[in-house]
Chains A and B, each alone.
Chain A
Amino acid sequence: MASTTENAVIEICELTKKYGSKKAVDNISLSVKRGEVLGFLGPNGAGKSTTMNILTGYISATSGKALVDGTDVLEDPKTVKTKIGYLPENPPLYFDMTVLEYLNFVYELKKVTLSRKKHIEEIMKTVKIDGVADRMIKNLSKGYKQRVGLAQALIGNPEVLILDEPTVGLDPKQIIEIRDVIKVLGKDRTVILSTHILQEVTAVCDRVAIINHGKLIAMDSLKNLSARFGEKGMYLIRALGTKSAVKELLESIEGLKSIRYISSTEPDTVDFKIAFKDGLDLRKRIFEVFASANLPILEFKSLDLTLEEIFIKVTNDENLAQVAAKNNEKGAAEDESNI
């Protein structure tokens, strides 16, 4: 069982959902702290939507529990549902209504007691749809539809927001706008956001849960994840010179664990991947050596893993236990210098 911390708003314990013999969600346990923005990351069909649908009470789990603010979704769905605002993958919009009609309907459906006019106006301002209040939903652009969907989730001021791929199908400008809205919303709410776009997680999330084939395979802050899965002390160096000259020079430097020739992408240059021995920082030394040998360094960068690389690494790995063990051996988790 996941440990129960006092300020966990969402707790999922050993949740499993089977469709026939296929497990869409396989024994997932996680908890989300109050005020946190959790990114739910995984390839398409990984079980993100299924987990969210269980959490919101749309479908039920085969086994396991989901608690929101201490209340079991199955035992007391009404209480849980008042606490959650949900934006499903396809925003549930009635195309024949105007934006205002729709939001009024949702207001009544959710039996909200806040002052109606003020509440709806505030929400429309937050997601910037006040300009289209009287337009028919079917005539809105995809970006606006998505925002109306988001507005719907905000009605009733729920403490928890669950957003299933909120930026999918939007153009880059709209994506940035929606993300900004989510960032604002995440300031005083708990948000779970699913996505398969990695920049999104980097842009808005405090923590990431990576799921694949229905299994939770990693859950941590971005910083810790890249420390865990990344290789520390790896650098790429691009120098003007011949392969043999650069190699020779590198070999003359003490404290390098590995030197590997990569390629030659720019004319007259060579790329090498080098690794420092544990605890060493030889960047200054390398600069000096190359400078005195008159081999100009054109590029010198750390090879910390981006989320993208972590993601591919993590989702590709068949045996994660091995990865974890390997990383523990390296003691990478303690080291955060390479972020």
Chain B
Amino acid sequence: MKAIFKKELKAYFLSPIGYIFVGVFMALCALFFLNSAIAYQIADISGMFANINVVYLFLVSILTMRLFAEERNKKTDQLLLTAPVSIPEIVLGKYFAAMAVFGLTLVVSLGFPAVLFMFGEPSFGEILGSYTGVVLLWGAFIAIGVLISALTESQMIAAVSTFGVLLLIYYMDGIVANIGTVWIAKLLDWLSLFKRYNEFQSGILNIENVVYYLSFIFIALFLTVRTIEKRRYS
């Protein structure tokens, strides 16, 4: 797992993807931060995260598109799958590498709340909640991206499908409101990734939500492992 994690992390910064990701992310964060907290003189970063979440739908697609699709396309998966490593190790190595790039941006973004603490009195609980929520929400997004990347050989298809799926998830709450059948609406509502995130943003640390996101990540990665395993039998 370590070898794959290291390799993937390196690959992000050997290709432009890592830089584009971090660069675009930071620039937009700064813009949204200026546009919410600074412009309205409020000590609150939830506005910044609310905006950046939308951008992230797009960025995560780019971050995860190559993880498995490229290996298959270039046939380098033969090296990984015939080396003495298990498929879960491969999947986790890649997942954590993508999470690490994302984590890096998150660490740098700590500068924004630091500014708030310098000049105002933001709620520590809300900021901590926001960060916890963001890590879990985006952790789930990245897991979806990893799964989709394992389903195709084409990076382009992986990116576009991931973006489509994430966009659908983003609009889910709005769609649910228009569904007449109660049980379907209830089910989709329960599944909504964004609704739970809002609770974190208000500084509520609900264990149920944490478990929900972690299970979501687990299931997506589990399906990734199964997808790769299944291909060996087809």
Q: Quick one: which of A19, A58, A105, A152 contacts B7, CB cutoff 8 A?
A: A105
Interchain CB contact under 8 A, B233 and A60: yes
CB distance from A96 to the nearest CB of B (A): 5
How many residues of B sit at the interface, in one of the four size bands? 20 to 34
A96 with B11, Cβ < 8 A, contacts A78-B86, A81-B82 known: yes
What chain A residues lie within 8 Å of B7 (beta carbons)?
94, 105, 109
A230 at the interface (CB under 8 A from B): no
What chain B residues lie within 8 Å of A19 (beta carbons)?
234
What chain A residues lie within 8 Å of B15 (beta carbons)?
96
Q: Quick one: which of B11, B74, B75, B79 contacts A106, CB cutoff 8 A?
A: B79
Number of A-B residue pairs, CB cutoff 8 Å, is 69
CB distance from A71 to the nearest CB of B (A): 12
Taking A90-B78, A108-B3, A109-B4 as given, write out 20 further A-B residue pairs in contact, using a Cβ cutoff of 8 Å, ordered by the A residue number: A56-B82, A58-B78, A58-B81, A58-B232, A59-B232, A60-B233, A78-B85, A81-B83, A82-B84, A84-B82, A86-B78, A88-B75, A90-B75, A92-B74, A92-B76, A93-B76, A96-B14, A105-B3, A105-B7, A110-B84
Interchain CB contact under 8 A, A81 and B84: yes
Chain B: interface secondary structure? Answer: helix
CB distance from A74 to the nearest CB of B (A): 10
Most chain-B Cβ atoms within 10 A of its Cβ — which of A81, A84, A92, A95? Answer: A92
Most chain-B Cβ atoms within 10 A of its Cβ — which of A57, A78, A82, A109? Answer: A109
CB distance from B134 to the nearest CB of A (A): 30
A84 to B74, CA, bound (A): 22
What chain B residues lie within 8 Å of A86 (beta carbons)?
78, 82
A111 at the interface (CB under 8 A from B): yes
A57 with B82, Cβ < 8 A, contacts A93-B76, A94-B76, A108-B3 known: yes
Interchain CB contact under 8 A, B84 and A92: no
A92 with B78, Cβ < 8 A, contacts A58-B232, A109-B83 known: yes
Interface string of B11-25 (1 = CB under 8 A from A): 100110000000000
A-B contact pairs, 9 of them (CB 8 A): A56-B82, A58-B232, A59-B233, A77-B84, A88-B79, A88-B82, A105-B3, A106-B79, A106-B83
B75-104 with Cβ < 8 A to chain A: 75-86
Who on chain B is nearest to A56 by CB? B82
A241 to B77, CA, bound (A): 65
What chain B residues lie within 8 Å of A81 (beta carbons)?
82-84
What chain B residues lie within 8 Å of A77 (beta carbons)?
84
A61-110 with Cβ < 8 A to chain B: 77-79, 81-82, 84, 86, 88, 90, 92-97, 105-106, 108-110
